[in-house]
Amino acid sequence: MTNQSPTTTANFSPFHPGERNVQLAAGVREEAERRGLAMIKPELSEQHREFFQHLPFVVTGYSDSTGQPWAGLIVGRPGFLSAKGSNEVQVDWQQAHNPLQIALAVGSEVALLGIDFANRRRNRINTTVETNDLNQLRLTVQQAYGNCPKYIVERNWQSHWFKGNYEQVESGQLTACDKVLIENAQTFFIATSSGPKLDDSSTSPDAWGADISHRGGDKGFVQVRGHQLSFSDFPGNNLFNTLGNLQQYPFCGLLFLNFDNGALLQLAGKAELDQQRQKVHIDIINKRLWRKQH
């Protein structure tokens, strides 16, 4: 498909300039706009509400006080995450476990990714924190939409995974064990941000904010060279949320899950896009390894 000038049937595009530029370069700008206007809604459908309420875990994307995105994880008994109507979701901290000690301030933007590995389904919600205390996290929905099942590795989620007490192990470099985990991964998660909002009259106000996305493939689809990771960006639904964010604001957070011992590897990095080769290169600038205490 050749590049085309987009035509929009709404007052605002659901995509910010970074996303639109990547879509244009890929030759799918009009298709993405049509699909985005149909898919991306400012509220949860009944199907999405039902889906999230039965999940044993949710992956999060958020930025710290410096603007660095991080990918996180919340686990619990199904029902720990619930929808209150179409515009609000709640996390019950009495039923949920927060192994990465995620601290979310009121007003901050948080993206949620729900995946049902067994049935290869996934849906995303972008939200804003309304309240967060010892009992409950309340989030207002800004955008909600589904994703295709491509590249989801089928597995049955085990209730004991990623529960218990965790300690953070500081290390400035990737260790040999870290590299083995990354190079054997069939799944990881990437948190991105659109960065500071621009004064852009063509963009919906809800198009800005945090995002969290899944990446999957065969073992070895993520390569490690020194302190840089690289992976191919396989064709998906052609919305290019992640790549668009990285073009707009190149900082990102990665999360790798060790399904054998329950360890969690969080990485913060700065990305460079190679759209010609459909590759993403990420220079690691920070690392947090969380392992279970025994």
Distance (Å, rounded) from C-alpha 223 to C-alpha 164? 30
- Which of the four pLDDT bands, split at 50, 70 and 90, describes residue 4? very low
- Which of the four pLDDT bands, split at 50, 70 and 90, describes residue 169? confident
Q: 17-292, superfamily in CATH?
A: Electron Transport, Fmn-binding Protein; Chain A (2.30.110.10)
From 8-12, 92-96, 251-255, 289-293, the region with the lowest mean pLDDT: 8-12
- Which of the four pLDDT bands, split at 50, 70 and 90, describes residue 2? very low
pLDDT of residue 277: 67
255 neighbors 191 (Cβ within 8 angstroms): yes
Domain chopping of the chain, boundaries: 17-292
pLDDT of residue 150: 76
Taking the model in full, what pTM does it have? 0.92
Distance (Å, rounded) from C-alpha 196 to C-alpha 20? 17
Instruction: Kindly report, residue by residue over 124-144, the tens digit of the pLDDT.
Output: 999 999 999 999 999 999 999
From 37-41, 103-107, 236-240, the region with the lowest mean pLDDT: 236-240
Instruction: Kindly report, residue by residue over 65-104, the tens digit of the pLDDT.
Output: 999 999 999 999 999 999 988 999 999 999 999 999 888 9
CA angle 122, 219, 253 (to 5 degrees): 55
